[in-house]
Amino acid sequence: MNADDLRALQAPLKDRYRAEPDAAVVTLRASGSLDADGIACRVETGRALVEAGLHPATGGPGTQACSGDMLLEALAACAGVTLKAVATAIGFSLKGGAVRVEGDLDFRGTLGVAKDAPVGFRAIRLAFDLDTDEPQERIDQLLKLTERYCVVFKTLAQPPALSVSAAAA
């Protein structure tokens, strides 16, 4: 796909969203089913069923997906797709590349071992290895725009309001 193809694909959407801002607001959904016997949750991804369980650092068997890994994978996927879309839109010469995401967790927080240990990631690092001949100024522009438009990156950087509820079935 080239920049003209991408613009042609997105132009009707952008026109509609300018004319009807409410049409641009889409509610994405995810759901899971709790395992009756084990400590697991089965999540339908749209392509496959993923069973998430405890990370080995919290006593898990290591045979199930870890939700922390899934969060980092979502960031890698979103950032990679966003970078490719931005590169296409600005005519950035990109032959290929890789996306790497790392996150540091202190499992003492999750296990309630130390009250001063945070629950959640202390730091997340996103990096790209790009196969390109573009100058550093263009690479910097590509990164700036990727940060600006990557939904998962922005959500982590500027968290939305969260709420939790529960009801007996």
Across 60-70, average pLDDT:
93
The helix, strand and coil proportions of the chain, stated in percent and rounded to the nearest 5, come to 45, 20, 35
Per-residue confidence band for 45, with pLDDT thresholds at 50, 70 and 90 = confident
Average pLDDT score over the chain: 94
Per-residue confidence band for 156, with pLDDT thresholds at 50, 70 and 90 = very high
Half-sphere exposure for 111 (CA within 13 Å, toward CB): 13
Per-residue confidence band for 169, with pLDDT thresholds at 50, 70 and 90 = confident
Angle ∠(59,67,46) on CA atoms, nearest 5:
135
For the chain, give every domain's residue range: 66-157
Across 60-77, average pLDDT:
94
Amino acid (one-letter) located at 151: V
Q: What is the dihedral of CA 167, 28, 160, 39, to 10 degrees?
A: 50
Three-state secondary structure call for residue 87: helix
Summarize pLDDT for 119-128 with one digit per residue, the tens. Answer: 999 999 999 9
**Short-list 80, 119, 71, 112, CA closest to 98:** 80
| pLDDT at residue 47 tops 90 | no
Percent of the chain with pLDDT strictly greater than 70: 100
CA–CA gap between residue 25 and residue 28 (Å, rounded): 10
Across 84-97, average pLDDT:
96
Output the DSSP codes for 101-155: EEEEE-HHHHTTS-TTSPSSEEEEEEEEEEE----HHHHHHHHHHHHHH-HHHHH
**Short-list 161, 160, 141, CA closest to 149:** 141
Per-residue confidence band for 79, with pLDDT thresholds at 50, 70 and 90 = very high
Instruction: Provide the residue count of the chain.
Output: 169
Strand partners, 78: none
In the CATH hierarchy, which top-level class contains the domain 66-157?
alpha beta
Summarize pLDDT for 5-27 with one digit per residue, the tens. Answer: 999 999 999 999 999 999 999 98
Per-residue confidence band for 167, with pLDDT thresholds at 50, 70 and 90 = very high
